[in-house]
Amino acid sequence: MDLNPVRSQFPALAQTLGEHPLCYLDTAATSQKPQRVIDAINEYYQRDNANVHRAAHQLSSRATAQYEAVRDAVQGFIKAERRDEIIFTHGTTEGFNLLAHGLSATIEPGDLILLDSAAHHANIVPWQMLAKATGARIQPIPLDKTCRLDQAAYQELLAQKPAIVSLTHVSNVMGTRNPIETMLAQARAAGAITVVDGAQAIAHLRVDVTRLGCDFYLFSAHKMYGPTGIGILYGRFALLDTLAPLLTGGEMIKQVSFEQTTFNTLPNRLEAGTPPISAVIGMGEAIAFLNELPRVQIQEAESELLHYLQQSLKALDEVELIGAHPDNIGAVAFNLKGEHHQDVGILLDQQGVAVRCGHHCAMPLMQTLGLKGCCRASLGVYSNKDDIDRFICALKSVIELLQP
């Protein structure tokens, strides 16, 4: 499939760094943005800029209509049953903080919270705060030798009747994909509140939260071709409605006196203050962009490309792959044997190749794997075979330089 028509919609990809055309393999950190997303944000500021929900004037009506239309678009995009199950957050991280704080009244001393060993810090630290505040316990679901979650150990942990099970849909480090359909069904059967970090899945897989049957699903727009500063906390209404707000003030109130405050209904109750209106509008345009793509073919093309990337790296003796499986999504983690990941990243950058190096906000995973860090090459809808060939060529010259 020719992905060039898609690629040409991303202006940042057309640049050169020094004499090298940009080879962008850091989409898992943040995706590039298509022109239409950039234009939608500009148009809002040039024509419709006003605060939402509040004023009687036409600009505010236009801004509010656009803002709330995006809620409908998100509802359709992830197939939520109700529009008030969609909460705008500043991103996945804020969503987890809101969620963990909001569940504090539900959790009791000694309750068990099961976490994914490959989790991003955003899906660890807020739970630690909750555990500290309530006396709950945290237990990671261990990895097996192939860097996937150990399903037998998971069954044993579920037998302890955890209160919360928070899984990663797709690992931001290795691109490994958890069998969340099965794992969520098992967690539900054990009576747990189920949470999915969808930050790395949302741009690659078609997500249906109703079919998944999870209680909460979180993601960020900037990893799905939208702007930074906006994300989604989806929650099944009955549970979402029980969450205590993290932030207060603004449109989340119904009635305020100096003695007391009553809160608004969902979704406003969990969206305090002036929201990031332009970012919401940009996210709506990113959803329209994704909806217009032939998602099934794109998913197949992305999977073929990832396989090509894995095989090309595997062919190099100096490369050590981490958790690479044929059904992974969007990313490959690797190290050059005996070399520091940061050196590799800097030398690749000098040839115009952008990869991510470090702990990838997954320090517990690095500890489990016995690594200080690693490099990660990640793909987006605009990536092509030429990117991978250029990356491999640059990596070979890094190897020659470091290991002459």
By beta-carbon proximity to ligand PLP, the closer residue of 92 and 134 is 92
- The only residue of 27, 66, 92, 278 in contact with ligand PLP, by rule CB under 6 A: 92
Residue 205 burial (CB < 10 Å; 0-12/13-18/19+)? middle
Q: What x/- string results for residues 343 through 382 when contact with ligand PLP is judged by CB under 6 A?
A: ------------------x---------------------
By beta-carbon proximity to ligand PLP, the closer residue of 230 and 309 is 230
**How many other β-carbons are positioned within 10 Å of the β-carbon of residue 344?**
22
Q: Which residues contact 234 (CB under 8 A, 6 or more apart)?
A: 74, 78, 80, 85, 86, 87, 209, 216, 217, 218
- The only residue of 157, 192, 199, 394 in contact with ligand PLP, by rule CB under 6 A: 199
| Contact window for ligand PLP (CB under 6 A) among 11-19, 115-123, 268-276, 310-318 | 115-123
The DSSP annotation for 124-166 comes to THHHHHHHHHHT-EEEEEPB-TTSSB-HHHHHHHHTT--SEEE
Give the containing element (helix H, strand E) for 89.
Answer: strand 86-89
Residue 163, amino acid: A
Give the containing element (helix H, strand E) for 204.
Answer: none
Residues 216-245 that bind ligand PLP (CB under 6 A): 220, 231
Strands (E), 202-318: 216-220, 231-235, 253-256, 261-263
Structure tokens at 40: 């939608």
Q: Does 93 bind ligand PLP (CB under 6 A)?
A: yes
Number of shown-chain residues binding ligand PLP (CB under 6 A): 14
Q: How far apart are CA 164 and CA 136, in angstroms?
A: 10
Nearest approach in angstroms of CB 26 to ligand PLP is 11
Q: Is 214 a catalytic residue?
A: no
Nearest approach in angstroms of CB 356 to ligand PLP is 9
- The only residue of 7, 71, 101, 120 in contact with ligand PLP, by rule CB under 6 A: 120
Nearest Cα to Cα of residue 23 among 378, 284, 403:
378
Q: What x/- string results for residues 121 through 160 when contact with ligand PLP is judged by CB under 6 A?
A: -xx-------------------------------------
Q: Does 166 bind ligand PLP (CB under 6 A)?
A: no
| Contact window for ligand PLP (CB under 6 A) among 16-24, 91-99, 206-214, 307-315 | 91-99
Q: How far apart are CA 403 and CA 118, in angstroms?
A: 31
Beta strands 374-378 and 356-358 are antiparallel
By beta-carbon proximity to ligand PLP, the closer residue of 30 and 303 is 30
**How many other β-carbons are positioned within 10 Å of the β-carbon of residue 60?**
17
Q: Does 114 bind ligand PLP (CB under 6 A)?
A: no
Nearest approach in angstroms of CB 290 to ligand PLP is 17
List contacts with ligand PLP (CB under 6 A).
Answer: 91-93, 120, 122-123, 168, 172, 197, 199-200, 220, 231, 361
Active-site amino acid positions: 361
